[in-house]
């Protein structure tokens, strides 16, 4: 894994899969903005930290997804660092029972087994109306961008470099993504539009890119998510249950569903698109012989 200098004391670790930014407080101490996956990234991240003699003084998370908080509790234990994130996201990952709010279709036993490592204790909760946070003497600005996750935030470092987390995705990811995830797509679209107002000198997208200007990337992201929603709309024929829609989408998008986790994952992604189509009144909900169905 390489380290890239974004600007001034703002750097990021290129894990291959994502960019994990960090802010250098001094020669030794850093604040990590997210901590990556446990599976496939922990070893590499640890190696980078050790090789550079870094000590993690704090972790500031964009949101509580598995690929962003995967090493929170591990690093907290190792470096005795503080963790800060949005209060609502902090509650979600505060226990396995709360994580089940997100992994609704999986049993608590499964959640514990597969996602238990995500459970961590957040020391500093960022409130909904909070616009900045000071960690170890460094001031970070907070932009609230809910939608991709319930209380996703973008973080601007003291170097005026903005970490956008998963609020935007890169062109590379757009090329490969069949249905990029959003918890509430309509809110996510509003948050993407909110980024037009930013005027930072650098922007870091978690999956993954560094940009000087993001105006076109915002346009293209919004068009991309909208076009995915419309592709789903196009395969809906007559009146269909969510399962019916899932069946045609899997076929038409050529998605491989090999196990129950993958099924639950695809279901979570699809639901937000179908809900979006319902919210923008492209779809109607009807009751048909006791079944809830979507129709145009």
Closest CA relative to residue 234, chosen from 286, 173, 283, 180: 283
Cβ-contact 55, 26 below 8 angstroms: no
Distance of CA 117 to the CA centre of its chain: 17
Q: Which stretch binds Zn ion (CB under 5 A): 62-70, 128-136, 155-163, 187-195?
A: 62-70
Give the three-class secondary structure for 284. Answer: strand
- How many residues touch Zn ion under the rule CB under 5 A: the total is 2
Minimal CB distance residue for Zn ion:
65
Smallest distance from the beta carbon of 158 to Zn ion, in angstroms? 25
Smallest distance from the beta carbon of 232 to Zn ion, in angstroms? 20
CB-nearer residue toward Zn ion: 65 or 76:
65
- CA dist 254 and 241 (Å) reads 20
Q: Which stretch binds Zn ion (CB under 5 A): 28-36, 61-69, 211-219, 242-250?
A: 61-69
Q: Which stretch binds Zn ion (CB under 5 A): 44-52, 119-127, 161-169, 262-270?
A: 161-169
CB-nearer residue toward Zn ion: 65 or 208:
65
Contacts of 255 (CB under 8 A, 6+ apart): 178, 179, 249, 266
Smallest distance from the beta carbon of 222 to Zn ion, in angstroms? 17
Cβ-contact 273, 266 below 8 angstroms: no
Q: Which two tokens stand for residue 270?
A: 């699809």
187 interacts with Zn ion by CB under 5 A:
no
List the one residue from 89, 159, 166, 275 that touches Zn ion (CB under 5 A): 166
CA atoms within 13 A on the CB side of 204: 29
CB-nearer residue toward Zn ion: 41 or 166:
166
Q: Which stretch binds Zn ion (CB under 5 A): 14-22, 119-127, 163-171, 263-271?
A: 163-171
- CA dist 285 and 288 (Å) reads 10
- CA dist 263 and 67 (Å) reads 18
Smallest distance from the beta carbon of 167 to Zn ion, in angstroms? 9
CB-nearer residue toward Zn ion: 19 or 79:
19
65 interacts with Zn ion by CB under 5 A:
yes
**Chain positions contacting Zn ion, by CB under 5 A:** 65, 166
């Amino acid at each position: 894994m390489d380290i890239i200098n974004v600007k001034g004391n703002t750097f990021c670790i290129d894990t291959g899969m994502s960019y994990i930014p960090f802010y250098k407080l001094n020669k030794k101490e850093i604040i990590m903005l997210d901590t990556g996956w446990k599976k496939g990234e922990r070893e590499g991240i640890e190696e980078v930290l050790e090789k550079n003699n870094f000590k993690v003084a704090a972790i500031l998370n964009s949101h509580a997804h598995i690929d962003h908080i995967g090493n929170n509790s591990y690093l907290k234990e190792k470096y005795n660092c503080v963790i800060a994130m949005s209060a609502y996201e902090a509650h979600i990952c505060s226990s396995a029972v709360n994580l089940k709010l997100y992994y609704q279709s999986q049993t608590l036993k499964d959640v514990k087994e597969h996602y238990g490592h995500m459970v961590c204790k957040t020391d500093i909760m960022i409130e909904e109306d909070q616009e900045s946070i000071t960690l170890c003497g460094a001031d970070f600005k907070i932009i609230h961008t809910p939608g991709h996750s319930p209380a996703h935030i973008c973080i601007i470092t003291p170097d005026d470099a903005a970490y956008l987390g998963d609020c935007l995705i890169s062109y590379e990811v757009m090329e490969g993504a069949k249905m990029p995830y959003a918890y509430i797509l309509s809110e996510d679209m509003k948050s993407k539009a909110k980024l037009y107002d930013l005027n930072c000198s650098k922007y870091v997208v978690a999956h993954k890119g560094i940009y000087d200007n993001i105006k076109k990337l915002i346009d293209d992201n919004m068009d991309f998510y909208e076009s995915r929603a419309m592709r789903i709309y196009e395969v809906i024929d007559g009146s269909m249950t969510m399962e019916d829609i899932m069946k045609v989408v899997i076929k038409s998008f050529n998605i491989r569903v090999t196990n129950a986790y993958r099924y639950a994952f695809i279901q979570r992604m699809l639901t937000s698109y179908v809900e979006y189509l319902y919210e923008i009144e492209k779809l109607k909900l009807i009751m048909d012989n006791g079944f809830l169905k979507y129709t145009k």
